[in-house]
Amino acid sequence: MKTAKLLAATALVAASGVLAPQAQADELTLCWAAWDPANALVELSKEFEAQSGHTMKFEFVPWPNFADRMLNELNSGGKLCDLLIGDSQWIGGGAENGHYVKLNDFFDKEGISMDDFAPATVYAYSTWPKGTPNYYALPAMGDANGWFYRKDWFEKPEIQEAFKSEHGRDLAPPKTQMELLEIAQFFQEREIDGQKRYGAAIFTERGSEGITMGATSSMYPFGFKYEMTPGKYDMEGAVNSPEAVAGLEFYKELYKTATPPGYTDSYMEQSLDAFKSGQVAMAMNWFAFFPGLYADPDTGGDKIGFFVNPGQAKEASTLGGQGISVVAYSDKQEAALEYIKWFAQPSVQSKWWDLGGYSCHVSVLNDPSFADSAPFASDFLLAMDGVMDFWQEPAYAELLLAMQKRLHDYVVADQGTAQEALDKLIEDWTETFEDEGKL
């Protein structure tokens, strides 16, 4: 039904000539990761093709290979991508290395205001240096790490009775990290409907970014931060604070006591599989997957519920999501900028949400009906109010690999203590920032 409405709207808008077809039609290639929102963008972009006369091609790369493939493309000055929806952490390198076109003059000319987008997404996806009015991307896909759970299991009377007997409170989606652990441990190896189940599917993958994205979902609420003073790279007492250590110790306990067996290298796909196959009561993953999860015929609908990442000392969620940039090496920058202008329109942003994308536009997010427009919409708003992100420095890849190693060695490989892991991480990062001339 939504597709039919979209096509009808496309024909109407094309006929009205809102975007007059250009004298020269170009073929634009948009690069992104291969996942459900990318498929929604293909559908949405049909409207741009009809209005502009340009043709859209898409290069979607599986998540495990996305960063390597796209960063290699940028670093080599490649011309594959005219438009790139790149991860938030790439913005520093994209700006400083000249990979992305600076958009300030274009935004001013076309009347595109960053005030029309959620402040957290502008800060994370668009600006470099951070927090300055220097824009290298338009917020495209809001996202954060959230949670989903087997609502039908939670509602079973025998399960509710057993949980209340053990914990003295009603079984409900957790409000704190400690409640999350209690619930996950309660479900660990519990028999439900004749099968052994497990507590939670979390991120433990080492090769790309998985365990960092997962562990920080606990570490941020406990109080982990990257610097004592933003922009000063003073990591001692922030990265390895008692609160950061407690958050990392918590994540290891969650992993050791409440996850499926053999769950040593898991990320997005493994989390989805564990939930859909009925292995786990709860799972973490990006909000981007929630529309598909809710639509799943076996474990979606009234069988699934959603909740925002629980707080502890503070409310915080690990940021996902991306901005859309014009690649500086493209020979079709004018046409690519036309796409940015089209995508920034409130009406297009509304359709983006309807199709399964996560708009960052305030006209969508502040609409009174938004919170009730999907069973996870209100949690998405809560998450985006408290998002925290990894370093966005040009040396982001090296910084990330160091954290991946230190966290995986401690959490999964059982090497050393949390304090030692974070102390060594500061040593790693200090060396990188010294090499970069930041320290």
Tokens standing for 67? 């960063």
Do 138 and 149 lie in a common domain? Answer: no
Q: Answer yes or no: is 11 within a domain.
A: no
Other beta carbons within 10 angstroms of residue 260's beta carbon come to 19
Burial of 113 (0-12, 13-18, 19+ CB in 10 A): exposed
Q: CB under 8 Å to 10, separation ≥6 — which residues?
A: 46, 47, 50, 51
Q: Give me the helix-helix angle, 242-258 and 396-411, nearest 10°.
A: 60
Domain presence at residue 344: yes
| Within a domain: 119 | yes
Q: Residue 5 domain-assigned?
A: no
Residue 266 shares a structural domain with residue 172: yes
Q: Specify which residues 144 forms β-bridges with.
A: 319
d(CA 405, CA 206): 7
Domain contains 245: yes
Does residue 270 contact residue 257 with C-beta atoms inside 8 Å?
no
- In terms of DSSP H, where are the helices of 168-232? 177-187, 210-222
Q: Is the dihedral of CA 395, 90, 146, 361 positive or negative?
A: positive
**d(C-alpha 293, C-alpha 161), whole Å:** 28
Please give the radius of gyration of the chain, using alpha carbons only, rounded to the nearest integer.
Answer: 22
DSSP β-ladder status, 198-201 and 280-286: parallel
One domain, residues 358 and 298 = no
**What CATH number is given to the structural domain containing 133?**
3.40.190.10
Same domain? For 184 and 89 the reply is no
pLDDT for the residue 23: 53
Q: Which domain does 269 fall in, by range?
A: 145-318+392-436
- 224/285 same-domain check: yes
- One domain, residues 165 and 254: yes
Query: Does any domain span residue 12?
Result: no
Q: Are residues 266 and 297 in the same domain?
A: yes
**290 and 150 in a common domain:** yes
Task: Please answer whether residues 299 and 293 qualify as being in contact, where contact means their C-beta atoms are separated by less than 8 angstroms.
Answer: yes
Would you state the structure tokens that stand for residue 40, as one six-digit string? 């929604």
Same domain, 397 and 375: no
Nearest by Cα to 281 from 185, 353, 349: 185
Q: Give the span between the Cα atoms of 51 and 197, in whole angstroms.
A: 51
Domain co-membership, 127 together with 150: no
Confirm whether 18 is domain-assigned.
no
What residues contact residue 292 under an 8 Å CB cut-off, 6+ apart? 36, 356
1 lies in some domain: no
Spell out the alpha helix ranges (H) of 17-83.
36-52, 63-75
Show pLDDT as tens, one digit a residue, over the chain (439 residues): 333 333 333 333 333 334 544 458 999 999 999 999 999 999 999 999 999 999 999 999 999 899 999 999 999 999 999 999 999 999 999 999 999 999 999 999 999 999 999 999 999 999 999 999 999 999 999 999 999 999 999 999 999 999 999 999 999 999 999 999 999 999 999 999 999 999 999 999 999 999 999 999 999 999 999 999 999 999 999 999 999 999 999 999 999 999 999 999 999 999 999 999 999 999 999 999 999 999 999 999 999 999 999 999 999 999 999 999 999 999 999 999 999 999 999 999 999 999 999 999 999 999 999 999 999 999 999 999 999 999 999 999 999 999 999 999 999 999 999 999 999 999 999 999 999 999 9
Residue 176 sits in the same domain as residue 311: yes
Q: Identify whether residues 52 and 71 lie together within a single domain.
A: yes
Q: Which bin fits 41, alpha (ψ -120 to 50), beta or left (φ > 0)?
A: alpha
Number of domains in the chain: 2
